[in-house]
Amino acid sequence: MYAKTQSTPETVKVQSDNGTLRLQFSTKYNPIFGGKRKHQGLSLKDTPENWQKAIAIAWRIEGDLQHPDWQQLFDPSFAKYGLKSKYTAELKLAAPIPEPEPEMTVGAMWEDYLEWKQPQLQPTTFELLYQITYTNPLKGKVYDRKNHVYLTSDNPLWDERLSGKMGDYLSRFTCCAATKHSVISALSEAFLRLQSQGRTNLTSNPFAGFNSTAVVNKTDKYKAAINADGSLLRWWDTEDTETDPDERDRRAFTKEERDIIIKAFYESDKSNVRQAAPLVEFLFLTGCRSGEAFALEWKDVFLGRDKDYIRFSKSYNGRLKNTQVTKTGETRIFKVYSKLENLLLKIKPVDAKPTDLIFTQRNGKAWYIGQLAKLWNTYELNHPQKKYVYPGVVTQLVEEGRISGYLSPYHTRHTFISLQAHAGTDLFLLATACGNSVEVIQKHYLGINPDATFCEF
């Protein structure tokens, strides 16, 4: 297909179809073409010269259709324009050209987009990321981390028409910079899909141009730029494209804090907490994602002379109550080392079946992140007469000053990767075992070690 060298009309567009050119009429003209979307072949091959001819024809036809006396000027046989149409007899020229319908709202476009997007995504990604993390800002909802609820703000984009001033709303978007970037990218994709289906009269994408990562200083490329969230972006920095907030927050416990947490779970006076101790230790010793540990069965563990590895091939989501593929969709092989092997041998029942889950709650059911989080962090339960507070293991350790600060269960993963990377573990082995990349580990886990020195030979 050849690029256009001049502008085309808004309501009569030139298109290339299987190597030949045709005209596509806007849906506003449907009433005069028997209620159907009209395409008119031009019998012209797709060449630069023919593009110019086609554009000239399109401008002439649109001029007649837009004229107040269009019924006298427009030739439904297209002979006036050097064309012929087999649909001439079907035209209803008595029907007036209606005013264009109001543009679709952002919310209506988004719901249509989600229906199309859902089959392309894993269930957890669709529900947690698209239906919640991305949808709530569009509805003007802000997450209150302290009370774990969404609050309604005064900046809803949901009911705004696509023809409105998107910039006014997007500039006041109530979410973090990373989420804002992802939401606007998704909105842009949704609009382009709408446009390709001919369901909008807008010729330009209202969400384009709002997603620049930083304000670049064009006068000096070596000066730091300013990110959308106000932080500095130095010329050697690259954007972190990870959209999962748990993956982006790569803080870690120290080795000493890790051991204190594991010991606290094992020595708890609560049986349900002690039941979770092997799971917590396993998460710290493998760096696997929690859902991968929840879905692990004994047939996924290979211990012996020739085989010493764990196979991570699935993940359990307690919210959806289903088992699916891993986050990256890949099966990973994790080499077992002595400390991890001792743990597995210690907790494996004598009568364990291959399909038995390795980690279960006291009732025999699979773990899920919500249940583990209740033991990890302080959990409050409100009843009409009384509020019950259940102290979490890690929260208590922070309050007692035994560890420096609180981090979520997901940071067991970041702790393992960070400790292994700084201990000198081969980065390729570490990256493949944890479903990561060497580049991410080098940039986000190693950083600069002030105590590092050159080796002496």
For residues 313 and 419, membership in a common domain is answered with yes
| CA distance linking residue 189 with residue 192, whole number of Å | 5
For residues 181 and 42, membership in a common domain is answered with no
Q: Is residue 262's pLDDT more than 80? A: yes
For residues 86 and 113, membership in a common domain is answered with no
For residues 261 and 333, membership in a common domain is answered with yes
Show the tokens assigned to 139: 């509805």
Reference 431, options 312, 423, 421; nearest CA is 421
For residues 37 and 154, membership in a common domain is answered with no
Q: What's the pLDDT tens digit per position in 161-191?
A: 888 777 777 776 666 666 787 888 888 888 8
Q: Which residue has the tokens 């080392």?
A: 337
For residues 111 and 77, membership in a common domain is answered with no
For residues 359 and 334, membership in a common domain is answered with yes
Residue 229 lies in a domain: no
Residue 410 lies in a domain: yes
The neighbouring-strand residues paired with 332 are: 312
Residue 15 three-state SS: strand
Hey, which of 129-133, 246-250, 272-276 has the most confident mean pLDDT? 272-276
The answer to pTM > 0.95 is no
Which H or E run contains 14?
A: strand 12-17
Report how far apart the first and last C-alpha atoms of the chain are (Å, whole number).
Answer: 63
Query: Do 383 and 241 form a contact (C-beta atoms < 8 A)?
Result: no
| CA distance linking residue 417 with residue 444, whole number of Å | 10
pLDDT reported for residue 304: 78
Residue 101 lies in a domain: no
| CA distance linking residue 437 with residue 418, whole number of Å | 13
pLDDT reported for residue 455: 61
Q: What's the pLDDT tens digit per position in 63-122?
A: 888 877 777 788 777 777 877 655 444 454 445 555 556 788 888 999 999 988 888 777
Residue by residue, DSSP assigns 321-349 as: TEEE--TTS--EEEE--HHHHHHHHHH--
For residues 282 and 426, membership in a common domain is answered with yes
Residue 138 lies in a domain: yes
| CA distance linking residue 24 with residue 325, whole number of Å | 43
Considering the chain, what is the average pLDDT of its residues?
A: 79
Mean pLDDT of 35-46: 81
For residues 189 and 46, membership in a common domain is answered with no
Phi–psi pair at 94, nearest 5 degrees: -70, -20
**Contacts of 203 by beta carbon, 8 Å cutoff, 6+ apart:** 10
Reference 331, options 347, 309, 360; nearest CA is 309
Q: What percent of the chain has pLDDT over 90?
A: 25
Residue 452 lies in a domain: no
Residue 214 three-state SS: strand
pLDDT reported for residue 174: 64
Q: What's the pLDDT tens digit per position in 418-427?
A: 999 888 888 8
Query: Do 430 and 436 form a contact (C-beta atoms < 8 A)?
Result: yes
For residues 81 and 117, membership in a common domain is answered with no
Note down the domain range covering 22: 12-90
Residue by residue, DSSP assigns 54-110 as: HHHHHHHHHHHHHSTTHHHH--TT-GGGT---TTGGG--TTS--PPPPPPPBHHHHH
pLDDT reported for residue 172: 65
Residue type, position 303, single letter:
L
Residue 232 lies in a domain: no
| CA distance linking residue 262 with residue 279, whole number of Å | 10
Residue 268 lies in a domain: yes
Residue 456 three-state SS: coil
| CA distance linking residue 283 with residue 358, whole number of Å | 13
Residue 5 lies in a domain: no
Mean pLDDT of 187-202: 83
For residues 291 and 425, membership in a common domain is answered with yes
- Give Cα separations from 186 to 118, 176, 306 (angstroms): 13, 15, 48
The sign of the CA dihedral 48, 50, 51, 52 is: positive
Outline where 92-244 has alpha helix (H).
106-117, 123-124, 135-138, 166-170, 177-196
Which H or E run contains 438?
A: helix 438-440
- Name the domain boundary from 147, 174, 196: 196
How many domains does the structure of the chain reveal?
A: 3
Q: What's the pLDDT tens digit per position in 212-245?
A: 544 444 445 555 554 544 555 555 554 454 556 6
For residues 283 and 393, membership in a common domain is answered with yes
